[in-house]
């Protein structure tokens, strides 16, 4: 699971009003290089919840993202590289996503988060 996917996901347990962002507990992750697409990064930047991305990146030991970001930073190649790396090149293989409100853990195995809800959570 890439951090871009993490940035979209929220907890959907019935009654939870503040299920985003899911806290990332990473036990195992891998890096896979992909070509940087600056147009894509500029296009998706406004949709990214920056604090969630920076927090998730830190959870897997990547601390090269600033705490805050605004669109003017997209002119910097250095910023784009870091943004690209965090968003698309880090893959969480094993770990869990934890609901910030209820503490419910959604395990990640072989890169796939298990977001199935129990009957009493629907």
CA dist., res. 69 & res. 49, Å (int): 10
Is residue 117 close enough to count as binding other proteins by CB under 8 A? yes
CA dist., res. 51 & res. 54, Å (int): 5
- From candidates 23, 25, 42, 44, binder to other proteins by CB under 8 A: 44
62 bridge partner residues: none
In whole angstroms, how close is the CB of 63 to other proteins at the nearest point? 23
102 CA to centre of own chain: 19
Token readout for 46 is 């406004």
Is residue 18 close enough to count as binding other proteins by CB under 8 A? no
Residues that bind other proteins (CB under 8 A): 1-2, 4-5, 7-12, 19-20, 32, 34, 37, 39-40, 44, 47, 49, 88, 91, 110-117, 122
């Amino acid at each position: 699971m890439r951090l871009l996917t993490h940035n979209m996901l929220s907890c959907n347990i019935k009654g939870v009003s503040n299920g985003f962002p899911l806290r990332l507990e990473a036990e195992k992750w891998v890096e896979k290089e992909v070509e940087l697409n600056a147009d894509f990064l500029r296009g998706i930047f406004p949709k990214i919840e920056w604090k969630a991305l920076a927090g998730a990146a830190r959870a897997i030991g990547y601390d090269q993202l600033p705490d805050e970001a605004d669109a003017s930073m997209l002119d910097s190649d250095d910023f784009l590289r870091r943004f690209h790396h965090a968003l698309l090149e880090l893959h969480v293989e094993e770990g869990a996503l934890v609901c910030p409100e209820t503490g419910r853990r959604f395990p990640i195995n072989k890169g796939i988060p298990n977001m199935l809800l129990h009957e009493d959570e629907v």
